Structure 1
Amino acid sequence: MKILAVSGSARRLSTNTALLRALQAIAPDDIAVRVYDGIGDLPVFSPDREGDGLPDSVRHFQEAIADCDGLILSSPEYVRSIPGGLKNAIDWLVSGDQVVGKPVALVHASHRGDDMLAALRTVLSTISANFTDSLFFRLPVMKEAPEAILQRLVDEPDAAQRFLRDFACFCRDGANERLPQHPIS
């Protein structure tokens, strides 16, 4: 099972990126998690640049999504909404088919951010028929160092690994049933 974990942050020391890397490190052997942290490298979306004028960074992003079995997004909240970089990345996907039927779930690295999560759920349910808002992993690690985030999951991997297994099952089976959430407090 190949999962692409996309960080919605362009910040170098992002807790969202660190959480995704920690998930990658503790993933069960049959689940390969690849972290995409290049949101900040994508140019501003313009329909005029689609097709033959598609920038290489966008093409690589679209190919990474097309090549995975499922997509996990983790993003900070900026001004109670989706960060511009993540929304821009999603805009680059709208006219293609890479994400249309792709299973998508959310991971969140903060105890807050519910307004952004609600907006992101609306957007994702619009672009993918297989977005699940029932499968969600939250680990409040805001302002923690990447090493500390990894250590938390290494010390207590059960909920994170269960989330990854449940998501892999969702990807494999395409089940649209209610799935458990996996918060850690």
Structure 2
Amino acid sequence: MKILAISGSLRLNSTNTKLLRAIVQLAPTDVEINLYDKLGAIPPFNLDLDNENALAAVADFRSELQAADAIVVCSPEYAHGVSGVLKNALDWIVSSGEFMNKPVGIINASPRSLYAHNALIETLTVMMAIIIPEASPAVPVAGRSLDEAGILADQELATSLLNAIDALVNFTEKSDH
């Protein structure tokens, strides 16, 4: 099974990216989780440029989404919303449909950041993604200065992340995605 992990942050030391790196390490051996690290290359959304000659970065993102059996997203909240870079990338996907019927887990690095989490659920639901609640935990790591090793060493955090991945994998396998 292939899962694409998308961080909504471009920051080098992003808590969201660290969580996803930890998930990559927690994945069962029969599950391949790839961290998509090219959101910053996707240009501002412009419907005039979305045609059969779609920009290379957009085509790459779409290809990665198509190849995945499921997706996990972890995004920060900025001004009560989804990060601009993630929202921009999602705007490119609205009409092409790569999220359609795709199982998705949405991990929230800060239980206080509800606006972005709920907005992301709304956006992906409109795009016809299948949001898996059991694969969408709030994992309280924001402000704790943990790296991947620290996240993995914290039994409660590691268990929460592993349970989320297990839920996403189980749903996807049962659904024949």
With normalisation by structure 1, the TM-score equals: 0.86
One-letter identity of the residue aligned with 1:152: I
Determine the structure 2 residue equivalent to 1:161: 162
Compared with structure 1, are the counterparts of its residues 155 and 84 closer, same or farther at alpha carbon in structure 2 (3 Å cutoff)? closer
Paired with 1:54 and 1:128, the residues of 2 have a C-alpha distance of 22
In the TM superposition, residue 144 of structure 1 has moved relative to its aligned partner by 4.3
Determine the structure 2 residue equivalent to 1:39: 39
SS at match of 2:78: coil
Structure 1 residues without counterparts, runs of 5 or longer? 176-185
Compared with structure 1, are the counterparts of its residues 129 and 25 closer, same or farther at alpha carbon in structure 2 (3 Å cutoff)? closer
In the TM superposition, residue 51 of structure 1 has moved relative to its aligned partner by 1.6
Paired with 2:133 and 2:122, the residues of 1 have a C-alpha distance of 10
Determine the structure 2 residue equivalent to 1:59: 59
One-letter identity of the residue aligned with 2:151: R
How many residues align? The count is 174
Paired with 1:56 and 1:145, the residues of 2 have a C-alpha distance of 35
CA deviation string 1:99-131 (max 9, x = no partner): 111111101111321011111111111102422
SS at match of 1:89: helix
One-letter identity of the residue aligned with 2:112: R
Q: Is the Cα contact below 8 Å between 2:5 and 2:36 reproduced in 1? A: yes
Paired with 2:25 and 2:129, the residues of 1 have a C-alpha distance of 29
Determine the structure 2 residue equivalent to 1:100: 100
Q: What aligned pairs does 1:84-123 form with structure 2 within 5 A after superposition?
A: 84-123=84-123
Paired with 2:82 and 2:139, the residues of 1 have a C-alpha distance of 19
Aligned Cα RMSD in Å? 1.8
Identity %: 33
Paired with 1:102 and 1:36, the residues of 2 have a C-alpha distance of 16
Structure 2 residues without counterparts, runs of 5 or longer? none
Which aligned runs of 4 or more in structure 1 are off by greater than 6 angstroms? none
Compared with structure 1, are the counterparts of its residues 172 and 88 closer, same or farther at alpha carbon in structure 2 (3 Å cutoff)? same
With normalisation by structure 2, the TM-score equals: 0.90
One-letter identity of the residue aligned with 1:151: G
Determine the structure 1 residue equivalent to 2:22: 22
SS at match of 1:160: helix
One-letter identity of the residue aligned with 1:153: L
Determine the structure 1 residue equivalent to 2:173: 172
